[in-house]
Amino acid sequence: MASSITLRAILRSRSSVVIPSKSLFLARESIARSCFRRYAATNSSAAVRTEEKLPVRFDAVPNLNNYILQSINRNLKFKEMTEVQQRILPFLVADKTKGTSALVQAKTGTGKTVAFMIPVIQAVHDILLEHDELGRRIHKPLALVISPTRELAYQIKDEAKKLCSVMPPSERPIIKAIVGGVSRRMEEQKVFSQGGVDILVATPGRLLDYLHEDPRRFKNLQIKVYDEADRLLDQGFSREISEIRTRIERVTNIKQMLMFSATVGDGVVDIAEQELGKNYKFIRTTSEDDIPTHLSVPQSVIFVDKLSDHFEPLVSMLRKHLTEASTGQAFKAVVFLRTGKEVDHYHFLLHQLLRDYDIPVIPMSARLSQSARSKNLEKFKSSPTSILVASDVVARGVDVKNVTHVFQVGRAMGTDQYIHRVGRTGRAGKSGQGILILSKKENHFYESLKRMQITFSDEYQYISDPALATEICQVAKKELEWWQKQRREDELHKLEEKYAAHMRGHKIVRAPSGIFSKDIDVVRTVISQFGFYRSVIPKRELSSRDILRDIMAGIGYLGSDPDVKPAIDRQTSMVLKNKLSLTDKDVREFFVEDGTSRKEKWTPK
Ligand code: CDP
Ligand code: MG
């Protein structure tokens, strides 16, 4: 039975997330823990989980390059190896022929980067010593590491450089990154001409550009690594990855293939085997009965009624934590949102609503330029108390020290993505907390997580606080006014043209200002949000009408007058019906169709 009780009291008693204001009243429900299913067991015959005694210190790894060892001691200052490093380093470092391929699964934040970069650096170092004619002199990389995101590519490159910082320059492999969003011409010069490159870290799109242009640059490649392998092999990247593979295979034979991730499902193993061959080692440091996310991260869920109600509990929790932070409690949080647009919107609102705390609230999404992305991530890293408002561009791999909380607003793109997002905290043995805010309609996602053995220490129902809701609405209105000021008529016109072209000639009508007072390009917003909802929520969970209702509630909440329906022309109405599978009735519930009889026009209550 749900009982009404302040979240503060609940959380104190659990010494878990502590949520603030008297405004936040939550009813706690019991947590169903019985419906666990074994986390996907793979059918690979090569799974390795031996019980032999493993070396703990780096200096116990036979034949580990002394310069790498010194770099670790002096520069990285790691005392001991993590489990994944203990399992993989001894045999990969010993493998002089580089004939051992491996698929490795280990939890987030457990040192996978070092686990694959040490063998790669050592192998490349040895090749360079043996074969003067290879490598940097002719600017052709020997090893390639592929990462799904730019931030991760840069991070891998930086970590790898630290691992060989003590090597004499004449022996030190040259490590560089190629990523999208930066000038190609300058990058090409820097990476392939000035000094060359021995180990190349790349994002798939940019790598393909270079492969199209001059595949022979890659003819010396011997080692290939996929970091976040399951992401690279899933639908979003699989076409690019398979083209990369084909193009590389035309110019060289890869001797060693390494794939790493925190999540490796059955489907991935099948696809991975095509590249790994049959004789690869499959190493997992999580046992099949383990929880696939870091055990030191307690996770809780907060339910709200509607999809558009997610924001209020977030503000409430952030304020509470920031109040505590002002008395010395650590608080560094990532707030994950579903789209770049949501990041813009939430960032604006949080920036205003958290102004009194005087801490950086930093946006991060693919809508920013690459230089802004890099700058923002650096700022987040260097600010002890701060909030990163982010899309999934930093969901995987990104290692920021001392993140104390990860908030997820709405369901993630999948259960694996949920795990990776939570994995931004609780890294390298530190503690952390994960908080998921879901609407009741997203309960299905919560059930899926529980079926994957992800345990939630607490489950709450958020009860809205009218004062806070009003405050948020006022700030949302400011945002609209700001946009209105920013968007000059010509800019608006361009936006419409762009969108109309996208919609294959359908004209998108902006509501007349008197009727729909705040111009936020309603139809455009509806269609783009609808696309998002549909991509993550299967039809059986939410009808088109449910989704539309929620989107429209959100638009009302954005400050537009919720009592006035936006006007659309017939053509737009047709687009809505066809594209979103809506009926006439559905459309009329939310819009006024221009040219329809006057009495159909909605009148304020
Ligand atoms: O890739 P994964 O999520 O497993 O973790 P990572 O990005 O490699 O980060 C692991 C964190 O642990 C980094 O901050 C490392 O500096 C640190 N660490 C490590 O990698 N190895 C150790 N033996 C000790 C600490
Ligand atoms: Mg990683």
Q: How far is the CA of 502 from the centre of ligand 2 (A)?
A: 37
The three-class DSSP label of residue 48 is: strand
Q: Please determine, for residue 14, whether its predicted confidence score (pLDDT) is greater than 80.
A: no
Asked whether residue 234 is domain-assigned, the answer is yes
263-313 pLDDT per residue, tens: 887 778 888 888 888 788 899 886 554 555 445 689 999 999 887 788 899
**Is the Cβ atom of 85 under 6 angstroms away from ligand 1?**
yes
Given this model, what pLDDT does residue 58 score? 95
Ligand 1 atom having least distance to the Cα of 429 = 12
Q: With 60 as the cut, is the pLDDT of residue 522 above it?
A: yes
pLDDT of 375 over the 60 cut: yes
Which residues make up the environment of ion ligand 2, defined by Cβ < 5 Å? 112, 397
**Confidence band, pLDDT 50/70/90 cuts, at residue 573:** confident
Mean pLDDT of 238-265: 93
Last residue of a domain, one of 397, 431, 464: 464
Residue 500 has pLDDT above 50, yes or no: no
Return the percent helix, strand and coil in the chain, to nearest 5. 45, 15, 40
Q: Which atom of ligand 1 is nearest to the CA of 398?
A: 7
What is the reported pTM?
A: 0.75
**Domain containing 128 — which CATH number?**
3.40.50.300
Residue 517 pLDDT grade (very low, low, confident, very high; cuts 50, 70, 90): very low
* pLDDT of 229: 95
pLDDT of residue 7: 32
More confident residue, 290 or 319: 319
User: Which comes out higher in pLDDT, residue 45 or 533?
Assistant: 533
Q: Is residue 575 included in any domain, yes or no?
A: yes
605 is a domain residue: no
CA-proximal residue: ligand 1, atom 12 (nearest): 428
Which residues are CB-neighbours of 250 under 8 A, at least 6 positions away?
215
To test the ligand 1 pocket, which listed residue (259, 285, 399) has its Cβ within 8 A of the most ligand atoms?
A: 399
Looking at residue 482, what is its pLDDT? Answer: 63
- Do residues 68 and 164 touch, judged by C-beta distance below 8 A? yes
In testing the pocket of ligand 1, which one of 72, 78, 147 has its CB within 8 Å of the most ligand atoms? 78
Within 10-51, strands assigned E span 25-28, 47-48
pLDDT exceeds cutoff 60 at 422: yes
For residue 227, give the ligand 1 atom closest to its CA.
1
- Note whether residue 163 is domain-resident: yes
Q: Is 308 in the pocket of ligand 1 (CB under 6 A)?
A: no
| Number of DSSP helices (H) and strands (E) in the chain, helices first | 21, 19
Rounded to an integer, what distance in angstroms lies between the CA atom of residue 481 and that of residue 483? Answer: 5
Q: Are residues 198 and 62 in the same domain?
A: yes
pLDDT: is 197 or 562 the higher one?
Answer: 197
CB 321, CB 354: distance < 8 Å: no
Q: Give the per-residue pLDDT at 176.
A: 96
% pLDDT > 70, the chain: 74
Same domain as 537, residue 478: yes
The number of folded domains in the chain is: 3
pLDDT at residue number 514: 33
Task: Looking at the CA of 399, name the nearest ligand.
Answer: 1
In this prediction, residue 574 carries a pLDDT of 84
* CA 469 – ligand 2 centroid, Å: 39
Same domain, 454 and 305: yes
pLDDT at 28: 31
Task: Provide, rounded to the nearest whole percent, the portion of the chain with pLDDT above 90.
Answer: 45
323 DSSP 8-state letter: H
Q: Which two tokens stand for residue 431?
A: 């503690």
In this structure, how many other beta carbons lie within 10 angstroms of the beta carbon of residue 585? 8
Specify whether 441 is located in the same domain as 530.
Answer: no
Cα distance between residue 550 and residue 547, in whole Å: 5
pLDDT digits (tens, 9 = 90+) for 86-128: 999 998 998 877 788 999 999 989 999 999 999 999 999 998 8
C-alpha separations of 183 from 186, 189, 369 in Å: 6, 10, 11
Q: Which residues contact 42 (CB under 8 A, 6 or more apart)?
A: 264, 265, 266, 269, 282
**In the predicted model, what is the mean pLDDT of residues 520-540?**
66
In a domain, 419, yes or no: yes
53: confidence class by pLDDT, cuts 50, 70, 90: confident
In whole angstroms, what is the distance from residue 72 CA to residue 478 CA? Answer: 51
How far apart CA 436 and CA 406 sit, in angstroms, is 8
Reported confidence tier of residue 38, pLDDT bands at 50, 70, 90:
very low
* Claim to verify: residue 126 and residue 204 sit in the same structural domain: yes
DSSP codes of every residue in 382-446: H-SSEEEEE-GGGTSS---TT--EEEEES--SSHHHHHHHHTTSS-TT---EEEEEEEGGGHHHH
66 and 196 in a common domain: yes
| Segment 426-430 mean pLDDT | 84
Atom of ligand 1 nearest to the CA of 428: 12
On whether both 420 and 499 belong to a single domain, the answer is: no
Q: For the chain, what is the mean pLDDT?
A: 78
DSSP 192: I
Residue 384 carries which side chain, given as an amino acid letter?
Answer: P
Which residues constitute the domain of residue 451?
A: 293-464
Residue 338's pLDDT is what?
86
In sequence order, which residues have a C-beta less than 8 Å from that of residue 11 and are 6 or more positions away?
A: 17, 18, 19, 458
Which residues partner with 333 through β-bridges?
A: 387, 405
Let me know if residue 604 belongs to a domain: no
pLDDT, average across residues 349-363:
94
**How high is the pLDDT of residue 27?**
32
**Top-confidence residue, 84 or 572:** 84
Using CA atoms, how far apart are residues 360 and 385, in angstroms rounded to an integer?
8
Final residue in a domain of this structure, among 224, 252, 284: 284
136-148 confidence digits (pLDDT tens): 555 689 999 999 9
The reply to whether 599 falls in a domain is: no
Shared domain for 369 and 480, answered yes or no, is no
Ligand 1 contacts CB of residue 57 (under 6 A): no
Of 257, 284, 311, the residue that ends a domain is 284
Task: Answer whether residue 215 shows pLDDT above 70.
Answer: yes
Same domain, 425 and 538: no
Q: How far apart are the first and last CA of the chain?
A: 37
Q: Does residue 425 line the site of ligand 1, with CB under 6 A?
A: no
Tokens of 338: 């579903």
Closest ligand relative to 293 C-alpha: 1
Q: Which of 114, 159, 394 for a ligand 1 pocket mutation test, highest count of atoms within 8 Å of Cβ?
A: 114
In a domain, 305, yes or no: yes
Question: CB neighbours (10 Å) of residue 110?
Answer: 21
Which of 435-439, 468-472, 591-595 is the least confident region? 591-595
- One domain, residues 24 and 128: yes
Q: Measured from the CB, is residue 399 less than 6 Å from ligand 1?
A: yes
Q: 304 and 261, same structural domain?
A: no
Residue 54 to residue 363: CA distance in whole angstroms: 42
Ligand found nearest the CA of 82 = 1
Q: Are 435 and 302 in contact (CB under 8 A)?
A: yes
pLDDT tier, 33 (very low <50, low <70, confident <90, very high otherwise): very low
pLDDT at 504: 33
| 68/159 same-domain check | yes
Name the residue of 54, 112, 118 to mutate for ligand 1: max ligand atoms within 8 A of Cβ: 112
- Per the model's pLDDT, the better-predicted residue between 384 and 506 turns out to be 384
Residue 62: is it exposed, middle or buried by C-beta count within 10 angstroms (0-12/13-18/19+)?
exposed
What CA–CA distances, in Å, run from 15 to 11, 298, 424, 444, 463?
Answer: 6, 11, 21, 28, 21
Residue 529 has pLDDT above 80, yes or no: no
In 212-352, at which residue ranges do the beta strands (DSSP E only) sit?
Answer: 223-227, 256-261, 280-284, 299-304, 332-336
